Structure 1
Amino acid sequence: MDPEAGVVFARSAEGAAIALGLLKCGRIWLCPVCSAKIRHGRAQEITRAVVEWIAQGGQAYLVTFTARHTAADRLASLMDALQGTRADKDAGIKRRPGAYQRLITGGTWAGRPDRGVDGIRDHIGYIGMIRATEVTVGQAHGWHPHIHAIVLIGGRTEGDRKDKRVVETFEPTDGQLAMWQDNWRATWTRTLQGINPKYRPTDECDRHDCPCGGLGHGVDFKRLETAQDAKKLGKYIAKTQDGQSPANELVRGDIKDAKDGNMTPFQLLGRIGDLMGGMAPEHVAGHGKLPWLLALWSEYETAVSGRRAIEWTRYLRQLLGLDGGDTEEDDLDLLFELDAAADFRDGVQIQQRAWHKLTGRALDLAVVEAIEGETLDIEAVTELAVNAGSIAGAVRQLSPKEVSDVYEGMLTALAERREAAAERRRQALTDNP
């Protein structure tokens, strides 16, 4: 981030080494390190939103959407069916909506304001939702992409776009909720049937009194309950029926253990790394041979490229009084904010040339191990740098205040370079309109 400042490893209150000053890729789909941090930050953000909304008197539901699939189905096709296709202006390809987009379009949902006819969204007081897409894969049934969405309802709003505001909360009736859920189940099933009959959720049901009517096995609704105790702790974070945080259920794909023999993408990637590192297949978590795993990872990279893993309804953040966004730039900003928010004990500053020599000899992990723990071993870090060909003065121990000051300078330098780059782009457009 700042060649003059080099690299700083700060030690958190828990003793973990946090790398400051290194640019991050911010790839939520592909990078285990960045994904874990981004999803952690997003989970906190979503929790705040849900708690705030329920505290205002609104309601929240965790809704999960799935499609039928087999080992023969390709991930890109399944993602297109759920999320829609991506536009390509250069190739003249227009975006085609998927089953998710169909849920919130059409007169039945939106009503006909010009005729004074309310739609389902008006009846339930829909104000928006937060969507996260998750992917798992297994040998028996292949790719299994699915969508988790926290849907916020029970609000009446006035205004439009950025000027929209909540003026009232209310509790939808059982009939209104049933109308909404039946509509989404039917729309989801009908849309998948139209895209590819193979994707249509199964009609089989073990319950004779199941309210899905044979249409609901691709859509599951869970009401999020909040416990409030004004005399003690005030309000608690909303929990799903199984006691998990709805925000974690929504976005923390990095910490989930895939069920029924399925692997998450990072479990798949971990097995690839272990096998390529020479470990015996029977001693490695997961399943599958290396060529099959490599082919899956390549397919996964292609299928998720250009897609958003987590997305909020436009203007929902502003409606709830929150800042932020869903772009890759927002994810990078979140990474830097999370690093800056840590409570640092102390740290180590390593000059840029020394850091390059350390990484060139694959000693970066050894540096982290020397920093982490109850006591920072500055002598060990210095010895590693000297053995890599640097001078002892290339490593310096920092106090907590020095860590914060150095990192603040790094962020300032990065912001200045970003602004200079943006100005160059603006000037280039002016010179070559």
Structure 2
Amino acid sequence: MPIKAKELSALSVSRLKENGRHAVGGVDGLHLRIFNNSKSWVLRVSVGQRIDDHGKNKTHRRDIGLGPYPEVSLAEAREKARELKQQIRNGIDPIKQRLEELEKLRIQKQREKTFIDCAQIVIANKTRELKNQKHIQQWSTTLETYVYPTLGHRPISSINKIDIATVLEAIWLDKNETARRIRGRLEMIFDYAKAMEYFVGDNPAAWKGNLEPILGNLKQTPRPHPSLPYEHVSEFVDQLKQKQSISAKALQFVILTACRSGEVFGATWKEIDFKSKIWVIPKERMKADKEHRVPLSQEALEILHTIHFNPKASDFIFPSPRNDGMLSDMSLTTLIKRMHEQKLKENGLGYIDPKQNRVITTHGFRSTFRDWSADKTDYPREVCEHVLAHKLPDEVEAAYLRGAYLEKRKGLMNDWAKFCNAFSKSV
């Protein structure tokens, strides 16, 4: 029969100083473990009977921590030890039970991950993949506008396909293209959540056999971006030149270069060759994944010269006034809307695409340029298309890469700049 340890008093326990394990009695296996200045309670128990290779019963000896001393008093340690010993007599393995509880807690915390938690990680991953800053920004903007207000702070594990359908239904008819893109982004976010085990079950944002029967397919009728007739572009530019904001300068630069707004927003000073009057956009920022060389007219260069270059601030030529980051499409959209409203008061028409009866857009100025170059110039189609960085047949593309069209494009962009500034010169 094992010798029982002497039952120490609280005072005797407080006097224990030597490193090692000290049996304190009162409950078999209860020790105070001392290591340097650290003291903690340990209960040694035998659990988990099994038959060994020789047919004998074997048990596992384990130490169970009961907390630090003196935060946990001697009396408390004995009470905890008695409870654990009772569990063992009842066939419960306390250590296994604790591990199971920790695993349940881990799973519960995983299930508590919110939609925003997961979305932000997916957006960060997409930021490394996507080359176009505009597309990266669209990920954040569309989710912030249409999804976060209702689903953002909910645990992602609690969201189902009806929740997703409700979000998308609100814009499915009026903004179908946006809704489709959001659905695809939601599907990616839930794929991530499933991979991380934050979400269990079928992807609620999947289309086939899931959201398709609820939302239904709509026949897509692509519409061009509303554009300003080229007859009015010089008047628009004249009004724009009266504004000194960075957004106004960026919009002027968009018009004069016929580039996409995202390409202008991401433009940096190191891309500008003032000596050659060329803006070299690296392929990483181009939709066609090819370097694009943009001839800069004198008018475009003058815009750059009006911008104060601050080397301590953002390297962007047209930084956001708020944080020195990139401008957003919304800044130019808001500017155009205000100019439209101002013009509307003057002539009752504003800046409208007469074919669509819609307010013009930033991207629409590329169409304005293309219509003007086709109607009012004799430049070859290939030259005009290269200004817009459109995909062309391989043999034409090869000629472009050799620089065969660069001089012609310089002439075309100078003519376009003169046309855009004709209003102020005629007044």
For normalisation by structure 2, the TM-score amounts to: 0.19
* More helix as a share of residues: 2
Question: Larger radius of gyration, structure 1 or 2?
Answer: 2
| Bigger relative CO (Cα 8 Å, ≥ 6 apart) | 1
* More strand as a share of residues: 1
For normalisation by structure 1, the TM-score amounts to: 0.19
